[in-house]
Chain A
Amino acid sequence: MKPLFGTTRGIGALSVMAGLAVVVLLFLFPRFVENTYALHIMILIFISIIMGSSWNLLGGYTGQYSVGHAAYFGMGAYTTMMLMQFRQVPPWLGIWCGMAAALVVALIIGSICFRLRGPYFVLASIAVAEIFRVSALNLKNVTNGAEGILTTEIPPLKIGGTLITDFSSKVPFYYAGLAFVLLVIMITWLLQNSKLGYYFQAIREDQDAAHSLGISLTFYKNAALSLSAVLTSLAGSLYAVYVGFIDPSTVLALDLSVQIVLICIIGGIGTIFGPVIGALVLVPLSEALRSNMIGESLINSGIVKADSAFGSFLTENLSHAHVLIYGVLVVVVILFMPDGVLGFAKALAARKRKEVV
């Protein structure tokens, strides 16, 4: 088995230690940081990592670019939310139902779409996700349609009368998110070094060659999609319960599918920590724009006058700019560092090493 963090044993041991230290720090984080906004950002980062890592299993390791992953995210979000709001099922149980629903959907979609390759698969995945979005919009008596579903109260999970979790603060969401993040990273690592993972990567490199070696393309592509879909639905459930409001235009939108892919593209596709880096770049950036931190700091620092035309433009419009920044990032990354930030860093390091020799 390849070491988790590097190729040489010394560096490997060091990075395992560093990794453990990071995990311990992350576990202690809510004890020291009382600031709810910081917790909020962390939870959003966790959700993004889960989304990105789940997509990475299918897109990064198996090479099947789904641009319709919002379907599974929405499946998790809607199942958990509907069970919770309309049937008072605690989210800890609803999450499992969401995962089951995503699995069923994935098997259906997979058996239809995996007959298609390359751009045709991409298109089919978008079309399927759009069918889900329009259906959720139109099935008003099931999903509330465009109005969406709003949490009024999260039923706590009780076993034998003792309270296991209550969701009155952000802390339980933080730990749930962190646990799921560790879970998907673990799964990715195990997969990367397992026979199953090798089959996935063989399909990514050359599916015809893989097929001629006796690897069943339909079976393994479906396996990758199922795993990816179930974990994506986990992110969807967590998002829905945490934010407390879902509607088709947020949890089933094409923009979301693109954003999921983007997390991986920016960090580096087909690597364990690519999605982590992608989420660490994207979430704070889009939050800073959404909450208009950049505009305000420009005004507060006196660079831009608040009552000038440019100042009012900043305060009014810059909060909408985060999707624009996504677009710019995609274009820049694809044109200048197609292997993502991780790949770019590796290439830089390799060049440095060469210069030294």
Chain B
Amino acid sequence: MTIFLQSLISGILIGGVYALIGIGLTIIFGVMRVINFAHGDLLMVGMYGTFYLFTLFNIDPFISIVITMPFMFLYGGFLQKVFINRILGSLPQNQILLTIGMGLIMSNGIMLAFTSDYKILSTDYSSSSFDILGISISTPLLISFAITAGITVVLYWFLLKTDTGQAIRATAQDREAAQLMGINVKRMSIIAFGLGASLAGTAGALISPTYYIFPQVGSTFTLKAFVITVLGGMGSIVGATLGGILIGVAESIGGVYFGSGWKEVVVFVLFLLVLLFKPSGLMGKSNT
């Protein structure tokens, strides 16, 4: 029972970060109907940024998100304006391939610049943990969960209450109608991609104290991001939050009961089952 609770709790904690990755992907999909196959690579860029901010300038990874977030926002906006914008109307296959290509450029560019060696960002609290009722909780995971929760709350407030947030949601609901209402759809797309990239990069910063950092780490997270968003229903932010936590828990519990090598299989099987029996996802509308 303790083992179960233990894995449940660490699953929820890591699930919070997964949710952040999923929300980023789902915002991009919602606004542009583009599936961003470079999402994990944006996360990887965030990881590298955090690593070098830490080793060169000694900035703590949890504090460095203040730099990572706006930087990744600008980077994402740039990618949207220069690349994605040109193919918004074309075949979905072409959009997938373009983002796959962008991901390859990022991961292999990083590999050329920083070699393919595994890097470890070790802070003095990297492996520290504390006990509550016999269950040990990792400190960096708990901190990153708290930060994730904070970011998610701010994001909800931004999307629900601010003018820009409402314009983004309107664009996601109906691009043409939004344009007719005088919303600058192109600008909303740039903001949406920027937000998505920024959330992915932040997630990368938050997990960098607990994960190996290497150029190809992105592809795992790209797939995970998809599983999360499809699980929650493409385009649904609440769904992505739920999906993220669900995947975190499934991975963690699957890892305990099937061995850590099989935890990814647990996730993919879960993903296929959801696709087959409820393709619109847990929170999605039935017609998607």
Contact = CB atoms under 8 A, between A and B. Distances in A.
Contact of A323 (B94, B102, B108): B108
B90 interface: yes
Interface string A304-334: 0000000000000100110110111111001
A127 B276 CA distance: 13
Interface residues of A, number: 38
Contact of B230 (A67, A115, A120, A258): A120
A99 B123 CA distance: 51
Contact of A334 (B87, B227, B261, B275): B87
B103 A138 contact: no
B279 interface: yes
Contact of B98 (A119, A127, A330): A330
Given A331-B102, A335-B83, A131 B268 contact: yes
Given A118-B92, A120-B275, A134 B265 contact: yes
B101 A328 contact: yes
A61 to B, nearest CB: 14
B223 interface: yes
Contacts of A296: none
B101 A331 contact: yes
A126 interface: yes
Contacts of A321: 108, 112
A51 B208 CA distance: 37
Contacts of B97: 261, 265, 330, 334
B96 A119 contact: yes
A128 B109 contact: no
B48 to A, nearest CB: 16
Q: Is the interface of B mostly helix, strand, loop or mixed?
A: helix
Nearest to A249: B216
A247 B232 CA distance: 34
B219 A254 contact: yes
B104 A335 contact: no
Nearest to B34: A119
Interface string A110-141: 00100110111011101110110011011000
A21 to B, nearest CB: 35
A130 B223 CA distance: 9
Interface of B: 35, 83, 86-87, 90-94, 96-98, 100-109, 111-112, 115-116, 219, 223, 226-227, 230, 259, 261-262, 264-265, 268-269, 271-272, 275-276, 279
13 contacts: A119-B35, A122-B96, A131-B265, A131-B268, A134-B264, A134-B265, A258-B104, A321-B108, A323-B104, A324-B112, A331-B101, A331-B102, A335-B83
Closest 7 CB pairs of A and B: A327-B104, A330-B101, A324-B108, A327-B105, A331-B101, A138-B261, A334-B98
Given A120-B230, A134-B265, A330-B97, 20 more contacts: A119-B35, A119-B92, A119-B96, A122-B96, A123-B230, A123-B275, A124-B272, A128-B268, A134-B268, A138-B261, A265-B97, A321-B112, A324-B109, A324-B112, A327-B102, A330-B101, A334-B98, A334-B101, A335-B83, A335-B87
Interface of A: 65, 67, 112, 115-116, 118-120, 122-124, 126-128, 130-131, 134-135, 137-138, 254, 258, 261, 265, 317, 320-321, 323-324, 326-331, 334-335, 338
